[in-house]
Chain A
Amino acid sequence: MSTNRRLRTYMPWGKNVLVWIISLITIAPLILIVINSLKDSAQASSMGMDLPTSLHFSNFKTVFEQGKLAGSLWNSVLYAGVSTILCVLLASMAAYVYARRKSRLNRFSYLFMLLGLAMPLNYFTLMKMMQLLHLVNSQLGIIILYAAVQIPLSVFILYGFVGGVPKELDEAGIIDGCGPIRLFFDIIFPLLKPAAVTVFILAFLNSWNEFLLPLYFLNSASQWPMTLSVYNFFGQFQMQWNLVSADIVLTSLPVVIVYLLGQRFIIAGMTAGSVKG
């Protein structure tokens, strides 16, 4: 018994040290970028771990102005944000129905949708389809395409989680007189929040880093998202690792912020609380 108690007292301490070590290992290569984003171009040319001789915060300003990041930042937020909301909404509705009622049609639909996880993209035929739907060279078109691409993965992840929400809640809701729409949006969806937020974060991340779709389906640099601007930037400043690093920092930051904001909504024990309450 005493070992158990000792474990209990020391465990958190040991755990904390361990977590710090892992975090440091994880972040070391990333610190490299931050350090280099503050150097001048000669010092940054070797991308070394040495500290900057003097701090050049002006790199960030240069990047923001030269890289025309303001416009593409807005584009990225728009494309990734709207498409992810659309995707999470449609995917959670679909996953909910597929997981709750396992009719032959629903089972088939679910498996059919999983095929999308492995389906190879073909830009030639996709271009034809996009033209047919009048979605080429339009911002709405790219948003819809982003959402479509993320749907199979999102349905797949959400499907696994819907099972965790007790079916008794549905029955209680029906007894209370809810229709299917109110049942889903008022009762089920709030309980799916941890999963929905996870899917949101992952889909947002994928959309944010999407690179080839805008390249193929947007025909104007003013509509390009951050990822492509970064490339434009590489082309112009490929020797200047300090600017490239600053650009990377600015590009990665928004997704980290989304993650930090998002995880506050993954609140522990929601289901348990609801069952008890």
Chain B
Amino acid sequence: MNNKTYPYYFSLGAMLLYVLLLVIPGVAGIAYAFTDWNSYDSAVHFIGLDNFRKVFSGENMYVSFIKNTLIFTIATIVLKTVIGFFLALLVNKGVRFRNFHRAVMFMPAVVPMLIVGLIFKSVLHPDTGLLNEFLLTIGLGFLAQHWLTDLNFAFKSIIGVDVWKGAGYIMVILLAGLQSIPKDYDEAAEIDGAGYWRRIWNITIPLLMPALTVTLVLNMLYGLKVFDTVYVLTNGGPGYATEVLFTGVFKEFSMGRYGLGTALSTVLFVFMTIIGYFVVKVMSREEDSH
């Protein structure tokens, strides 16, 4: 019965587009990682693993880029998920002007990163920025900082801006998850006398697991691939303090070293694939046990 009810050809359209336009060009592109392809020479030569050796030799500071990328990923996963979850709970029900608030909270996701960079460079400017002026006005002037240029704050500020932009996006996914949880479960538990937080913990979160996994994987992939946020806010500065992997890739490309740039992004691809595989594995095991 399965074969007829859920026919494989349903998935062929998606698969066709995916293979033709993403897989084939992507895999063919990875082949360049093994060449000396660059913008100063029209010929491309095979050079084996030389590019990968360069990436891992440590001379180009890629190790610190990788560290920054991981810090960014973990911090944004935690912050966006927690904040996004509470936002979703908050605007799910029992609030007036629900649609208005939902739209407002989603709005940062809509604004192009370029613009976000522009806004926050202005907001976080040490002399004229909104944030420092606000802190001064309410008498907390000692908290004012050089947000984007102080070595101690630059990376935290980047994370903060990214959470501001991304939490609403996560909220939307979790909200859809909340909406598809049947009300009866919650009502039954309430009748049984379970308190609000208890119900959240025992009922909402377990039933929200599929949506939470989705956001976990999305946040993780996004975090590892992060580029725009860093690029528009600090461009990796001051010095190299906030460089991440993809700003490194971008730099290699803009220097015309396409081979090395491809090698670097290939390393990241392999890394993401491995992590992604385990996450999906764990997730599907949980699902089966339900």
A residues with CB within 8 A of B: 4, 7, 11-12, 15-16, 18-20, 22-23, 26-30, 32-33, 46-49, 90-91, 93-94, 96-98, 100-101, 103, 105-106, 109, 111, 113-122, 124-126, 128-130, 133, 144-145, 147-149, 151-153, 155-157, 160-161, 163-164, 170, 174, 180, 183-184, 194-195, 197-198, 201-202, 205, 209, 211, 227, 230, 248, 251-252, 255-256, 259-260, 263-264, 266-272, 275
A174 contact set on B, CB distance < 8 A: 1, 5
Contact of B6 among A20, A91, A101, A160 (CB under 8 A): A101
B276 contact set on A, CB distance < 8 A: 114-115, 117-118
CB distance from B45 to the nearest CB of A (A): 16
Contact of B91 among A19, A100, A128, A197 (CB under 8 A): A19
Q: A268 touching B179 by the CB < 8 A rule?
A: yes
B158 contact set on A, CB distance < 8 A: none
Contact of A22 among B25, B105, B268 (CB under 8 A): B105
Q: A26 touching B277 by the CB < 8 A rule?
A: no
A120-B29, A122-B28 known; A180 vs B6 contact (CB < 8 Å)? yes
Contact of A90 among B13, B105, B112, B272 (CB under 8 A): B13
Residue of A nearest to B272 (CB): A118
Pick from B59-67, B146-154, B210-218 the stretch touching chain A: B210-218
What are 11 inter-chain pairs, A to B, with CB distance below 8 A?
Answer: A16-B95, A28-B130, A47-B122, A115-B276, A118-B225, A122-B25, A163-B210, A227-B112, A248-B111, A263-B102, A266-B176
A259 contact set on B, CB distance < 8 A: 102-103, 106, 110, 172
Q: Mark B16-29, 1 if CB is under 8 A from A, else 0.
A: 01101111111011
Contact of A201 among B18, B22, B96, B172 (CB under 8 A): B172
A32-B123, A114-B276, A118-B221 known; A129 vs B21 contact (CB < 8 Å)? yes
CB distance from B173 to the nearest CB of A (A): 6
B206 at the interface (CB under 8 A from A): no
Pick from B46-54, B180-188, B233-241 the stretch touching chain A: B180-188
**Is chain A's interface secondary structure helix, strand, loop, or mixed overall?**
helix
B120 contact set on A, CB distance < 8 A: 29
B94 contact set on A, CB distance < 8 A: 11-12, 15
Residue of A nearest to B290 (CB): A163
CB distance from A98 to the nearest CB of B (A): 6
Complexed CA–CA distance, A47 and B125 (Å): 11
A144 contact set on B, CB distance < 8 A: 17, 21
A129 contact set on B, CB distance < 8 A: 20-21, 24-25
